[in-house]
Each structure stands twice: as structure tokens, then as C-alpha cells.
Amino acid sequence: MQLMNLYFNIKTIQFIGLLLFICCMPIKGISHTSQEHNISKVLNLKSIKTAVYTTAHHSDLKLTVTDSLKFQELKQPLETAASIIVDSSKEFQTFLGIGGALTDASAETFYKLSKSNQKRFLEAYYNQEKGIGYSLARTSIHSCDFSTSSYTYIDEGDSALATFSIEHDKKYRIPFIKKAIEAAGGKLTLYASPWSPPAFMKSNKSMLNGGKLLPEFYQSWANYYVKFIKSYEAEGIPVWGLTIQNEPLAVQRWESCIYTAEEERDFLKNYLGPTLQKEGLGSIKNIVWDHNRDLLFQRANVILNDPKAAKYAWGIGFHWYEDWKDGVPMYDAVKYVKEAYPDKNLIFTEGCNESYNLERIKNEDPKLAERYGKSMINDFNNGVVAWTDWNILLDETGGPNHVGNLCFSPVHGNTKTDEITFTNSYYYIGHFSKFIRPGAKKIASVSSSNALLTTAFKNTDGSLAIVVMNSSDKNLDYSLTLQSNSAYLKALPHSIQTILISNK
């Protein structure tokens, strides 16, 4: 019996040993190295191409290559040090594009420049190699404040739209848009926004100073969008999307129209959405709200909680002017909408620095460009798929604007001297648009320092574009960690960097 027990004990030990051996054997095709090591092999950090592009205030650095990276084995970052951690395996929204508005003011200023500067301007914005590679655009449906006068496409009182004509736009704006499309390589994602219906359709009988769209003209106004889209497309300009109303809660001294959330919801679900479908334009992307971040959630809540309205809404657009209240942008409002409505898209539809003052450009006031950098980084980190600047070009006065609402633009063209001024805002935007391309995926990028803001994307070719902004007055040394490897960099005071990493 003792011999039998000994025999079974030996066999049991052998069986357990065999199990342990089998469990420890490498399975064909699966490595037992860490996940980070596997990712590292995919990106091949030992044989990569890297470049650091820098723009810094009060320097000659304007999208200038200033460094390359040398990665080494990760050392635990210290609490006292600034660190940026990037994880390219954590993917979020798909990027649509970055661009600016092609307004009447921009078009008229463009055609007052010399032919050589027109070419230079178009390359600077739309050529990815020579410029910053814009891929997105917005324009207005008839006039806005950045037009030299108020106008519509019909005779006043023509609710049947029998007199509809875009002849006005053929002088400057349509040729300008066509040149932008050509400069962008033949494709530009364009959406349009109305500032006001014709005066006779409104409660105040004026295109200016607010007022409401009268219910008896809801269908006529919906038909107006259709006429606009088809007329532009007949000119060879595809229209990708619409915002229903620019700033629907702002009573402005220029073209404006007020919609409550319920009114915008009902106009979309009962008139605009069905009309577009009926006219074969169901692929047009409808964007609701198109106003500031502060009431973004309330507007989304009313419209998107109605299934009949929500089915016509591609997404929600917003501006950055809510800081007029206390000087503080409400970035988190974007995040809350994304969390509540993850199936809808968020798009930044307008932002500019107000109250034009040439001295602020000459003195390189960092607040002008950094407003762009802060907004773009926060908005992308909160789920935004596309970002649109306001006027792509303005003249030496910050116009033309028919009500004197003069503003800054990233580029100003002096119509008297034929000079073009590329402000730091242009270069800051370029740190995103030049390197983050349509189809890219937002990836995780987190800073351990409040002084450094960061966002990052993975392009369709596998390259990574990591943006880092330092809005402080100090030089900041920081580490960049990617796939258990670190590199060490320096951010100049009031600067922005794009770190581009790609396989050779």
C-alpha cells in the first residue's frame, strides 16, 4: 500500500510539472513580451523619423524645425518635473478637418491684392507642403456683417423664390471659393450658414437686430437653403453641410435671427430636414446651435432628445465668445455634450479675436494666438472632429464690415500697400492643420503640468502629431513618454510645438 501511495505521489508530481511546462511554453505567434514592447515594434521607435516644429513669440521661429527626438528607456517622471504621456493605442474621434470662413470680406480683400500675393496667400493656407493645409471651409448664405452691404438672393416679398439668383456672389465670393478648392488639391469640405432670412420673412421686418422667422415662412425659408445648395453646386462648388442659424440667441446690430431651442428643433424636424430629403439632398450634414459653449448642452438636450429632430442632425456647432461674461472659456461644456450624445459630432464653427487693433499685431500680443491654441487643444481633447476659424483674410482695417464690427484675422492684406501680414495666429493654427490630416484619430496625450497644454492625433499613414503649448513666461523642460520610452525637450516662453513622429 505504501509503495502504491508513493507511485501515485510521484505520478502526481510529474503531471503537475508537465502542466507547468505546457503553461510556460510560448504559443506560436504570440510573444510573451509586454504590450508596450509589441506596440514599440509596430512604431519602431529605434528607427523612426522625428521633427519638432516650433513657433515662438518675439522670435524668428515660425513653424520652424528646431529639434529631433532621441528616445531612451523610460525613467519614472518626478512630481516636480513636467511630463507629457502619449498612448497611441487609445483612440477616440475621427478628425474631419481645419479651415476658415470664405466670406465676402475675405473675397473682396483677396481680389484687391496683386496676382503674386493672391498666389502666395492661397499656397500659404491650402498647400500642405508650402503652407498649412486647410481642408475645411465655411461660407454665408447671402450677407453677414462681413459683407459690404446687406443683400439676399431674391426680391423682397418673393416667398415663392421665383427671383432667386446668386449673381451677387459670382463677382467675388464664388471665384474665390473655386480658387481655394483648386489650391486645396480639388477638394474642400464646405458648409454654409445663414445670418438672417429676408426681412419680409421676419417679425421685425429687418435683416438686422434680431427678430424671428415667422411661422408662415418656415417652408419658404427651408426651400431657400435648397436653392442655395443647388445653385452653388451648379457652379461647381459642392456643399457638404449647413448650420441652421448663426448665433440663434444673439440680437446683433448686423444680420441676425432668434430661435429658441424648441423653434430650431421644430424647424429642423418639420421643414428643413424633410425638405432636404425630398429634394434629394438627404446627405447634407445639418449642424444645430452654431453659437457659444455656454448653452451648448441646453440646445443639444432639447433638439437631440427628440428622435424625429435628431435623425436630421449630424452634429452640434459652437463658437468661443461665451467668455464675454467673465473672461473664462467654458471648455467643459463641449465634453458634457459629447458624453451625453456620443453618436453626434461636435464642430467648432467660428472664433476670432474681436476689436481690431494693429498695435497688438505689431507687438505680437501672445493672447491673440494663444486663444487659438488653448481653444483647439481643449476642444479636440473634448471630442471635437473639426475646427473652423472665422474670416480667412481681412484688410488693413479689420474689415470690410458694413456695421463697423472690425476684427482680427490670422492673415491681413493691406489693400493700399499690397503687403500681407501673417500673424502668429496663422502659425498657431498651422501647428494643427499642417500635421493633423483628415481621417486621423485623436489619441491620448496628457500633461502633468498646468503650464503645458497638449493634444495628439494618429494620422492614417501611422504618423503621430503631438502638439504642446507653453503659455507661460518661462522656458520649460519636459519629457515626452511614448511606449515606455522617453525623450526630453524644451518649450520656449509663449510658444507652441508640433512633434511629428513617423516610420522612415
What are the mean pLDDT values of the chain's consecutive 10-residue runs (504 residues total)?
39 40 34 33 71 98 97 88 96 98 98 98 98 98 98 98 98 98 98 98 98 98 99 98 98 98 98 98 98 98 98 98 95 98 98 97 97 98 98 98 98 98 98 98 97 98 97 97 94 98 88
Superfamily (CATH H level) for 96-435: Glycosidases (3.20.20.80)
Exposed e or buried b per residue across 127-142, where buried means at least 16 C-beta atoms within 10 angstroms of its C-beta: beeebbbbbbbbbbbb
Q: Are 248 and 211 in contact (CB under 8 A)?
A: no
Measured at the alpha carbon of residue 487, what is the angle toward residues 486 and 491, in degrees to the nearest 5?
130
Residue type, 242: L
Cell of 96: 474631419
For residues 60 and 54, what is the distance between their CA atoms, to the nearest angstrom?
10
H or E segment and range at residue 48: strand 48-56
Cite the residue boundaries of each domain of the chain with CATH code 2.60.40.1180: 37-93+443-503
Report the sign of the C-alpha dihedral through residues 352, 347, 499, 467, in that order.
positive
In this structure, what C-alpha cell is assigned to residue 457? 492625433
The pLDDT of residue 317: 98
What is the distance between the alpha carbons of residues 260 and 194, in angstroms, rounded to a whole number? 16
Distance CA 469, CA 203 (A): 47
- Predicted local distance difference test score (pLDDT) of residue 66: 98
To the nearest 10°, the Cα dihedral for 491, 496, 502, 504? -70
CA angle 126, 242, 399 (to 5 degrees): 55
Spatial strand order of the sheet with 82-94 comes to: 64-67, 48-56, 495-503, 464-470, 452-458, 441-447, 82-94, 476-482, 485-491, 72-73
Alpha-carbon distance 444 to 452, whole Å?
15
CA–CA distance, 193 with 144 (Å, rounded to integer): 9
State the cell numbers at 146.
Answer: 462681413
The per-residue b/e assignment along 229-245, b for 16 or more CB within 10 angstroms, e otherwise, is bebbeeeebebbbbbbb
Biggest CA–CA distance in the chain, Å, is 112
C-alpha cell at 481: 513618454
**DSSP 8-class letter at 77:** P
Q: Where exactly does CATH 3.20.20.80 map onto the chain? A: 96-435
Q: Tell me which residues are annotated as active site.
A: 247, 350
The CA-atom distances, in angstroms, between 48 and each of 40, 316, 503 are 11, 38, 5
Cell of 383: 471630442
Question: What architecture is domain 37-93+443-503?
Answer: Sandwich (2.60)
Q: How far is CA 38 from CA 34, 92, 275, 396, in A?
A: 7, 21, 52, 54
* 323-340 core/surface letters (b: 16 or more CB in 10 A; e: else): eeeeeebbbebbbbbbee
- Please give the Cα distance from 346 to 445 (Å, whole number): 20
- Listing from the earlier edge strand, what are the strands of the sheet with 420-422? 394-395, 411-413, 420-422
The predicted structure's pLDDT at residue 483: 87
Tell me the CB-side half-sphere exposure of residue 177, using CA atoms within 13 A: 26
Nine cell digits for residue 130: 508650402
- CA 119, 231, 258: angle at the middle one, nearest 5? 95
Residue 421 is inside which H or E element, if any?
strand 420-422
The reply to whether omega before 400 is within 30° of 0 (cis) is: yes
User: Which residues touch 178 (CB under 8 Å, ≥6 apart)?
Assistant: 235, 236, 237
* Beta carbons of 461 and 490 less than 8 angstroms apart: no
The per-residue pLDDT for 37 is 32
| Interatomic CA distance for residues 267 and 259, integer angstroms | 9
CA end-to-end span of the chain: 71
Those residues whose C-beta lies under 8 Å from the C-beta of residue 28, and which sit 6 or more positions away, are none
Helix (H, G, I), strand (E, B) or coil at 248: coil
